[in-house]
Amino acid sequence: MHPQLELLVTLHDLELTIKEATEDAANQKALGFKIDNLEHIIKAQADIEKQVDHGIIDRYRKLKERYGRPVVPVINSICCGCYIRMPTAQASDTERNQRMSTCGNCGRFLYWVSE
Amino acid sequence: MGGSSVSLAGLLKPGMVNLGLKASSRDGILKELVSLAPLGEKAQHILLVNLRQREELGSTGIGRGVAIPHCRSLMLNSLTLIAGRSKAGVDFGSIDKKPARLFLLIIAPPHDPKNIYLITLGRIAQLAKDLAPNDPLYTADTPAEFIARLAELEKAL
């Protein structure tokens, strides 16, 4: 996997955990889970952000603001952000996650789940 | 899909059950569990990073010897349940400060319009809270027995 893509998907997953911990905290606590160290995970998020190239993190933030989820999986050649089918050449690219790629329609960063 | 139609036993495949976890640390247990996920090494690593961070946020050890590590991740495109059991038990920072012996790991993709993840998470937590210390889940000899017992417990929910 491209190192920058690895950072983006790690960041993306971490942000999902933070979102859940903040928006669904009452439910999580009611189920018996602890949520008592949000600072730690926010610091981890910041540490990962610092490792991402400026141009990429800027684009990530803009996409996040616009769509909520700036990185989306590609499943069966479909961008799971806008549900457009990838052009054949791009979808059959054997390198796929070895390079940074974005959806030609919505612009989101793409991650091929099947890797 | 409604809450009643989320079948934990249906989600859990025999290959996703490890009844002899060997690790003696929280992170080691998470690594053993994640190794059962149908993912490449890199994807497993990313998943592990997120699960560890979730535990740093606050333990998912809900007491009575049960921990339910969980997160959403881009790494998987469907809801995935993995189960593990440690004979000796591991300090998981659980609410009751007792070692965790039974682990039910749940991972969901970000895209989950019917919110099956939270429904399933709630169902597992509910089941675990009523679990007796001598429940057959703690003694099942094979993954098939474990899954069959899980199905029985679900019927009683």
Q: What is the pLDDT along chain B (157 residues), one digit of tens a residue?
A: 444 467 899 999 999 999 999 999 999 999 999 999 999 888 999 999 999 999 999 999 999 999 999 999 999 989 999 999 999 999 999 989 999 999 999 999 998 878 889 889 999 999 998 899 899 999 999 999 999 999 999 998 8
Closest residue of chain B to A24, computed from CA coordinates? B118
Domain at B141, CATH number: 3.40.930.10
- 3-class DSSP assignment, residue B135: coil
pTM over the 0.80 mark = yes
Task: Give every CB contact of residue A90 below 8 A, 6+ residues apart in sequence.
Answer: A101, A104
CB B133 within 8 A of CB B100: no
- How high is the ipTM of this complex? 0.88
Q: Which of A20, A96, A79, A80 is nearest to B40 (CA)?
A: A96
Host domain of residue A56: 3-112
Domain count for chain A, please give it.
1
Q: Which residues of B touch A (CB under 8 A)?
A: 40, 42-43, 46-47, 49-50, 53-54, 56-60, 62-63, 68, 71-77, 93, 95, 109-111, 118, 121-122, 125, 128-129
Chain A residues whose beta carbon lies within 8 Å of the beta carbon of residue B73:
13, 16
| Residue of B122, B37, B17 whose CA lies nearest to B78 | B37
pLDDT recorded at residue A32: 87
How far is it, in rounded angstroms, from Cα B3 to Cα B126?
Answer: 12
Total number of domains constituting chain B: 1
Q: What is the CATH number of the domain that holds A79?
A: 1.10.287.1490
What count of other Cβ atoms lies within 10 Å of the Cβ of residue B19? 19
In a domain, B1, yes or no: no
Q: How far is B92 from chain A (nearest CA, A)?
A: 12
Chain A residues within 8 Å of chain B (Cβ atoms): 1, 6, 9-10, 12-14, 16-17, 20-21, 24, 27, 31-38, 40-41, 44, 69, 71-73, 75, 80, 111, 113, 115
Assigned domain for B12 exists: no
H or E segment at A57?
A: helix A54-67
Q: Which range of residues forms the domain containing residue B26?
A: 19-155
Q: Between the CA atoms of A91, A7, B17 and B138, what dihedral angle is there, to the nearest 10 degrees?
A: -160
